[in-house]
Amino acid sequence: MTTKPTVLVTRKLPDAVEDRLKRDYEVRLNPDDALYSPDELVDLAEGADAILPCHTEHFSGDVVQRLPDNVKIVANFSVGVDHCDLEALGKRGIIVTNTPDVLSDATAEIAILLMLGAARRASEGERMMRDGSWRNWSPSFMVGSAITRKRLGIIGMGRVGQIVAKRARGFEMEIHYCNRNRLPEANEQEAVYHNSIESLLPVSDILSLNCPSTPETVSLLSAERIALLPDRAIIINTARGALVDENALMDALKSGKLASAGLDVYRTEPGGNHDISALPNTFLLPHIGSATMETRNAMGFRALDNLDAYFAGKEPKDRVA
């Protein structure tokens, strides 16, 4: 009888994904959904041929060096791989994959939710209804800003960015974007290309961050760049918290330079930034961009497709290292 490969799964996955894992592999599950420490991760990987982690597990250079030799592949349940030291994993000969494509629609939906919530002061209104403090109404009460026919700037016009643009066109928004490379004309759909962030920012009434976190994009949105935005602009981030200088963001929200911000990601996760949470002109979610059952199943199946390919002696479709 052929021995099945052993897979360490670091978090609780959807039932359908775990059922497929149990069918095809010897699997070490995490039914309590505990967050493993680096030491626990290394210990649990002993004897495992593969690890199926989420972005909550950090494969730093130190952790990678301590992984047992039996680990051959890290098949991420995520698109972003900023939690992985790809160079260190490559030096150990460990293959790394991700799950692109399948969460683009869900993440774009959250970007639109954040856009509407931030523009229309939804957090303030929702809090007022819950604490019973709504006592009056007047023409000056809870006035926000429209998004219809506003200029939307998108940094990172990949899969998610393009769907955000597509959804935003339903609000008759004028789309501007900055990307490493200009899109083919058919993909642009009349969006205006900018070859620098500095060119994009002054025409962005609403700015959506949709690029990956890399060493080059850490603190991409600095105080200097925020200053280039129109007064009373709105910032939306569904990508990674590391893209934003959070102190600069708070300063701009407090001063009125920015009208509001809608955030699903933060530099510190889980938990977020409590100083940002204290600001009334923010609309905040706990990193749930991909949190639909359809998407989470698809992410799990995509990760398993990569594992299946590797253990069948084929190149995984979504190999990133």
Q: Which of 176, 287, 296, 302 is catalytic?
A: 287
Q: How far apart are CA 58 and CA 254, in angstroms?
A: 33
Which amino acid does the sequence have at 5? P
Q: How far apart are CA 170 and CA 148, in angstroms?
A: 9
According to DSSP, the residues that pair with 151 across neighbouring strands are 174
Residue for token pair 């010897």: 26
- What separation in angstroms does the CA of 130 have from each of 58, 124, 141, 228? 37, 10, 17, 37
Which amino acid does the sequence have at 46? E
Residue 240 falls in the annotated catalytic set: yes
- The token pair at 293 is 């059952």
Q: Which of 26, 124, 188, 269 is catalytic?
A: 269
Asked if residues 234 and 205 have their Cβ atoms less than 8 Å apart, the reply is: yes
Asked if residues 191 and 176 have their Cβ atoms less than 8 Å apart, the reply is: yes
Q: How many residues does the chain have?
A: 321
Asked if residues 267 and 273 have their Cβ atoms less than 8 Å apart, the reply is: yes
Q: Which of 120, 240, 296, 302 is catalytic?
A: 240
Residue 269 falls in the annotated catalytic set: yes
Query: What dihedral do alpha carbons 16, 17, 18, 20 form, nearest 10°?
Result: 90
Residue 58 falls in the annotated catalytic set: no
Residue 296 CB partners (closer than 8 Å, separation 6+): 13, 14, 17, 290
Annotated active-site positions, please?
240, 269, 287
